[in-house]
Amino acid sequence: MAKKKNNGRLFLVVGINPHNLKLSDQRLMKPVCQQQFENGRLTGSMLVQEIDSVTLSKRRKATYFLPNNIALLLSTSRKALESAKAIYRGYLTSQNVEVNIEKLTGDRKVGMNEISSKVCDYLENIQTAIVFGYTALEVFVNLSIPDDYKYTTENSKGITETYDKTAIERWLTLKVKIKNILVKIYDTPKLDNQTWWGHFTNLESYRNNIIHQKTINSTEFYKVYFKRSIFEICNSPEKVIQFFHNHHAKQDRTNPIWPWLRGAKGLPINRSYDPQHFEVVGNMYEGIKKKH
């Protein structure tokens, strides 16, 4: 185990060569490859993964690799979406199951109760996928904006307005943050021609309908969930992050906030590693050394 001297964070050395790293759980923070160069030549390399612990009781403590919160949110969204797909394909649109009251045989009340329960399960999973996927994207965007970043725009009255990071997070929509701010931070092409852009704008609209529902009697917004396009819409947060990841990785600027993404490669690399910034404080077999 290694401890970073300036902030006391603990890391476990999990390897030397980043190409040999095997993914254990995509919800974890990525290891960082620390590389040391002398006269332009690589002289040392190690992969360190941050660890944390929590006290569960007086006699029990859990130690674990630090999770990536964006990845946790994406994972929750993805699992809910897979459950919704299973209901949609295996029940709602299956030719082997009748879901129309006019064609039900037997006790129609029992049949209606079963259909209604399945519909509620489906809606619950779709809404979970929407809200958690949108939240994952919101966290990703806010973490991507540097603390000293300023955004300047002209309002409808021709008045110039400047937002600092706090104001950006509070007052600007996620759509504006992505389209007008992230494209500059990550130096990417415009987003209008991206196939996922329309899906994302629908996702934001659907999420807002859930969070800011105006009347309990209005359930019309549920009906869009039964269109096949809902699955692509719920997948859009990962597509958005993937887009920025790919352009970021091309510049060799990957960083620890990136969650593990399906098909995406690249680990954060620190090419100015200084071993004096770390101290060895133990190992995974003997634990952390006690100071005398």
pLDDT, tens only, 6-43: 556 888 888 777 777 777 888 998 888 777 777 778 77
- Mean pLDDT over residues 267-290, rounded? 57
CA pseudo-torsion sign 182, 186, 187, 189:
negative
Torsion angle, alpha carbons of 153, 239, 119, 223, to 10: 40
- Here the tokens at position 80 are 């809910």
* Phi, psi (degrees; rounded to nearest 5) at 241: -65, -40
User: Is 80 exceeded by the pLDDT of residue 195?
Assistant: yes
Q: What is the mean pLDDT of the chain?
A: 84
Residue among 290, 133, 106 at smallest CA distance from 196: 133
CA pseudo-torsion sign 61, 136, 142, 210:
negative
Residue among 132, 140, 138, 135 at smallest CA distance from 255: 140
Residue 282 β-bridge partners: 288
User: Is 90 exceeded by the pLDDT of residue 233?
Assistant: yes
- How confident is the model at residue 142, as a pLDDT? 93
- How confident is the model at residue 116, as a pLDDT? 94
pTM, whole model, 2 decimals? 0.84
C-beta of residue 19 within 8 angstroms of C-beta of residue 3:
no
- How confident is the model at residue 212, as a pLDDT? 85
Q: Which residue has the higher pLDDT, 109 or 9?
A: 109
- How confident is the model at residue 156, as a pLDDT? 80
pLDDT tens digits along 156-172: 888 899 999 999 999 99
